[in-house]
């Protein structure tokens, strides 16, 4: 698979991720999940540092699968300045001390001394992650499974019209790309990297033969980028809900809204290429 480069500053380069980037990729994803700009700390309060360490290990199977898909990519800063001499010697290093439960979000970010600054993790719709192997991940972020399942339940069958080959009723490999996780580390936000990478992925997926990208969004900024793709691509909302209106049934059969007052939205988008 050949790739072109996005319309970003020349200092940034997109490369396919390999398992040699596994540690960096997990750390970047965890940092994005537990940063103040993420909704997850609000939905799952507690010691976010301990949660970060737990998630780092719990997401190993998921991230391995996404990297092995061959369609997961990283944005690398070719002008990155290493903070520690030992990092320069190895090309980058993660310095998290999992015994330090008082490390702040800023300190965890400071200890991510490597040139990977953004990730776009995807898989082919015919080769999804094994849910049985994701139990540790969902245990570390239990509200995630409920939110994802609820969002999926809202998708009407018509939203996936045309996914199957004519006459055989089976999903075709190389036609539907599932964008699973896109994240930019905190010290590289607001530089246009997320938008540039998203639009790059749309164009590249089209060039590789994909017809559709599906993505689940949890932030207004990410949704805005994907809901307004470059021409001639078209975005359609498959399902959405407001987190504060999400209802659960308690042990006594009563409905309640555990996150009432949170106006953030969860959304599933379909991008026709």
Q: Is residue 2 part of a domain?
A: no
Domain that holds residue 266: 10-270
Q: Is residue 5 part of a domain?
A: no
Q: Which two tokens stand for residue 87?
A: 């990092």
- Is the Cα dihedral 200, 203, 208, 209 positive or negative? positive
Tell me which of 133 and 5 has the higher pLDDT: 133
Q: Is the pLDDT of residue 199 over 90?
A: yes
Tell me which of 32 and 76 has the higher pLDDT: 76
Angle ∠(216,144,52) on CA atoms, nearest 5: 105
Strand segments, DSSP code E, in 141-223 are 176-184, 212-217
Q: What is the mean pLDDT of residues 69-82?
A: 96
Q: What is the mean pLDDT of residues 191-215?
A: 94
**Considering only CA atoms, which of 149, 205, 142, 153 is closest in space to residue 174?**
205
Q: What is the mean pLDDT of residues 102-128?
A: 95
Q: Is the pLDDT of residue 166 over 50?
A: no
Q: Is residue 1 part of a domain?
A: no
Interstrand relation of 234-242 and 116-124 (parallel, antiparallel or unpaired): unpaired
pLDDT at 263: 83
Q: Is residue 189 part of a domain?
A: yes
% residues pLDDT > 70 (the chain):
92
- Taking the C-alpha atoms of residue 22 and residue 254, their distance in angstroms, rounded to an integer, is 43
Average pLDDT of the chain to the nearest whole number: 89
Q: What is the mean pLDDT of residues 122-130?
A: 93
Q: Is residue 221 part of a domain?
A: yes
% residues pLDDT > 90 (the chain):
61
- Taking the C-alpha atoms of residue 160 and residue 47, their distance in angstroms, rounded to an integer, is 39
pLDDT band per the 50, 70, 90 thresholds, residue 172: confident
Q: Is residue 202 part of a domain?
A: yes
Q: Is residue 3 part of a domain?
A: no
Q: Is the pLDDT of residue 250 over 60?
A: yes
Q: What is the mean pLDDT of residues 6-18?
A: 86
Q: Is residue 90 part of a domain?
A: yes
pLDDT at 227: 96
CATH code, domain carrying 176: 3.40.630.30
Q: What is the mean pLDDT of residues 164-182?
A: 75
Q: Is the pLDDT of residue 163 over 80?
A: no
pLDDT band per the 50, 70, 90 thresholds, residue 6: low
Domain total of the chain: 1
Q: Is the pLDDT of residue 60 over 80?
A: yes
pLDDT band per the 50, 70, 90 thresholds, residue 146: confident
Global pTM value: 0.89
For 91-130, give one letter per residue: b (16+ CB within 10 A) or e: ebbbbbeeeeeebebeebbebbbbbbbbbbbbbbbeeebe
pLDDT at 47: 86
Q: How many CB atoms lie within 10 A of CB 34?
A: 20
**Considering only CA atoms, which of 237, 234, 182, 181 is closest in space to residue 211?**
234
């Amino acid at each position: 698979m050949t790739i072109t480069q996005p319309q970003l500053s020349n200092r940034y380069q997109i490369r396919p991720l390999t398992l040699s980037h596994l540690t960096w990729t997990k750390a970047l994803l965890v940092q994005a999940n537990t940063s103040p700009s993420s909704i997850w700390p609000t939905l799952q309060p507690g010691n976010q540092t301990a949660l970060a360490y737990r998630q780092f290990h719990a997401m190993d199977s998921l991230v391995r699968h996404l990297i092995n898909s061959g369609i997961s990519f990283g944005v690398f800063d070719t002008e990155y300045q290493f903070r520690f001499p030992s990092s320069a010697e190895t090309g980058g290093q993660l310095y998290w001390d999992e015994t330090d439960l008082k490390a702040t979000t800023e300190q965890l970010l400071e200890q991510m001394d490597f040139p990977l600054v953004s990730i776009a993790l995807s898989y082919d719709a015919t080769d999804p992650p094994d849910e049985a192997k994701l139990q540790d991940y969902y245990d570390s972020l239990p509200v995630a499974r409920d939110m994802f399942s609820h969002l999926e339940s809202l998708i009407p069958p018509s939203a996936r019209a045309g996914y199957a080959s004519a006459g055989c009723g089976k999903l075709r490999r190389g036609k539907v790309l599932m964008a699973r996780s896109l994240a930019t580390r905190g010290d590289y936000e607001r530089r246009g990297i997320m938008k540039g990478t998203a639009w790059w992925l749309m164009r590249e997926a089209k060039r590789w033969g994909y017809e559709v990208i599906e993505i689940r969004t949890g932030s207004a900024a990410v949704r805005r980028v994907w809901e307004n793709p470059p021409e001639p691509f078209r975005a359609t909302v498959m399902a959405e809900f407001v987190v504060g209106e999400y209802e659960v049934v308690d042990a006594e059969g009563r409905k309640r809204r555990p996150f009432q007052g949170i106006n953030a939205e969860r959304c599933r988008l379909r991008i026709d290429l």
